[in-house]
A and B are shown apart, each in its own frame.
Chain A
Amino acid sequence: MKPEPAASTPKTGVHRHKTRNRPDGFGFVAIKQLSIVFDTAGKQRLLAVDNVSIEIYPGEFVCLIGPSGCGKSTVLNSIAGFIPPTQGTITVDYRVIDQPGGDRGMVFQQPSLFPWKTVLGNVAHGPLMAGKSKAIAYRIAQDFLEMVGLARFAKQYPMMLSGGMQQRVAIARALANSPQVLLMDEPFGALDAQTRIMMQENLLKLWEDLKTTVVFVTHDIDEAIFLADRVVVMSANPGRILADIRISLPRPRSIEVLLDKEFAALKKDCFDLIRRESLLAFEQQKIEP
């Protein structure tokens, strides 16, 4: 049962970023038999991603986890359009992805804000590029800064902000562009534990308001289960899908869910899967010259 996108374009809606539950039905990501091969320096061909198929439905929050080198970031970069598939296809709302575009917002591990633009200027960049007038772009940017709780820092420059605040600006910047999908590549990996939890809660609140489809890459099992509707576990060398685990913990979730019994059980499942894989990868590295 694939939901069909609505006939009207999402851009025409007034205050589209304020709608709930994505009634437009946009944000359907279909990865079909994706394989990605890298040519390494020694003419060796490295199979980074092997025959991965995932369907991510509009408004869904999916986490990709796995040991380092399992190709989870490669899959994400391929959805973003940075890495072309060697085999297979990726479509977003039935359009084949062959280059990066504004329909897929991305948040990187580093905030990657434009240091020469103000916080407001950074967030307004997407709407401006989409052809919106300055007044409208800045109003949208102000709205999103409010949503991440940084409205009063609008006039400041990124380097005056802490790492966590910069990353919130980066999230606001990606969302202000009303993307069909929000791609997040270990966005909280560089933050300290306290800030990370705050960021996770903030992100969930945003997502519950906007219902944008989210594909979130992490190696933190707690983070994945806390955030996701589905946790897709990947194996290393080559990157394959090991398991696709539905997380039916009730929403809205607060961080106390980490102490829940069901959470512990889910965590154990994921942990065992990843541990077995990590050990396997470790053994492989010992054998290979």
Chain B
Amino acid sequence: MMNTPETIAYLTIQGLATGSLYGMIALGVVMIYKTNDVLNFAHGNMGLFSTFLIYIMMTKYTAPISAHLYDWARCIDILGGLDANTFSITAFTLIAVFTALFAFFFGVILEVIFLRPAREPSHLGLIVITIGLWRILDGAIIGLFGTEVYAMPPPLSGFKAFKLGVIPVDQLDLIILSITGCIIVVLYLFFRFTRLGIAMRATFQNREAAGLMGIGTRTIFAVTWGISSVLAATAGILTATKLNLDNTVILFPFLKAFSAAVLGGLGSLPGVIIGGWMLGVTENLFGSYVSMGYKTPFAFIVIIVVLIIRPEGLLSRRIKRGV
């Protein structure tokens, strides 16, 4: 391993990209934690389910959909200079939009069916519900899609490395970073300026008070699960693009993201992204310069040590809880 500034920059960008994936998953975990007061252990598999869906649709329907679009465009004579390749991109976009919609309603349905019926839930009880959900989704994924390893089809494959000035970068890492950037901007605007976003922030802060102010907190719960599920699906798809798709690909990224969320303190949403980046970069530098094998144990040791020193997480304010 060369110890030049270029390599360090390369590793940092790589770490930031991985960290963005952690951050994306963790963001959903924290949003759910803020509404339902529970760590959602099923989060990784929620995303993985949508990832499998998009994989199946891309392998089966990309060609037919793009062929249809092509015919249709030729019929109404708007073909112009477009070729078949453009239409497969369009087909992919349609499939991606459909997957996002599916992921949203998947999250909503899970909340309504599994979390909502729990009356007077205890903290442990809610955790156990999400653990049960984790098992169900795990079983469902193995039952429906098996345990084989799949490579994502194009356009989610065949990414190249190139040089940005003197720094070598992977195309995929840049794509991940830009998607993360978009998500951050969109979520910021959503939470800052829309009625629903403001209502959600109010619910995050205090459920009862928000309810008394006339906010339909049940809807907010469902929407939160929907958005988290979309985030998890995005992270799942990008992870599968990076590492190939199988039924366990999300496990360690999810556990690390989960821990990054707790590391950030389950408090502020921007803190979660920063926590994810910190974990991703530290882990990547450690993996490259110290020991590749000990990368994962190292990440968890860091998390344990941080939590021992600051039991409420790194970035959250210390809150004295009453009895």
Does B associate with A? no
By a beta-carbon cutoff of 8 Å, the part of chain B in contact with chain A is none
By a beta-carbon cutoff of 8 Å, the part of chain A in contact with chain B is none
